A = this chain, B = another copy of it.
Amino acid sequence: MRALRMFNHVSLDGYFVDADGDMSWAHRSDPEWNEFVASNARGGGALVFGRVTFEMMANAWSGPDGAARNAVVAERMTAMPKFVFSRSLDGVAWRNSRLMKGELGQGMRNLKAEAGPDMVIMGSGSIVAQLTSARLIDEYQLVVNPIVLGGGRTLFENAERVDLELIASRTFGNGNLVLTYRPRPT
């Protein structure tokens, strides 16, 4: 059984996108942070997305702009297996992507049972909330950014209540805090 981990940036008030759907407030480049991001990208694994985040990621990383932004990340994002949960898409063009139709919970249970690397879900707030309620996320990694946004969308909108265990916390010089949690057994 392979694991599913969530990785997302959030503001101090808990939003992963601001009221305009923007995530650019989360970018705090410095050598220490860039090395953390590149090391994550080198770590391998498979990626899981909803449609909105998949399209944003494909846009950001699949073309020449992506390579210019961060060559290591762009190359790794393209090489990694990607699973896209969408009812409306008919196909996915980005290399190594697989479109998942049908019920989310069952689709994720099937993916977990397949052989393959562990999976990481990024962005994809509505899917994170549903998978949280279904208790299918094994680990949550949140980057708490030192900013108050005042509005936006949370990762857990209408999710069922889940008690967590704090596994690790790491502070960066740019003010980011990387927190790792696991659900407590019910």
Contacts and interface: CB of A to CB of B under 8 A. Distances in A.
Interface of A: 10-15, 25, 129, 132-133, 140, 142, 144, 146-151, 154-166, 169, 171, 175-177, 179, 181
A133 B154 CA distance: 21
Contacts of A151: 157-158
A167 to B, nearest CB: 9
Given A164-B175, A177-B169, A14 B150 contact: no
Given A14-B14, A154-B13, A166 B148 contact: no
Contact of A171 (B155, B159, B169): B169
A101 to B, nearest CB: 26
A163 B177 contact: no
Given A132-B148, A163-B146, A171-B166, A15 B12 contact: no
Contacts of A132: 148
Nearest to A173: B166
A146 B182 CA distance: 9
Given A12-B14, A166-B171, A169-B171, 5 more contacts: A12-B179, A13-B155, A148-B156, A148-B162, A148-B164
A186 to B, nearest CB: 13
A166 to B, nearest CB: 4
Nearest to A10: B14
Given A14-B13, A142-B12, A156 B166 contact: no
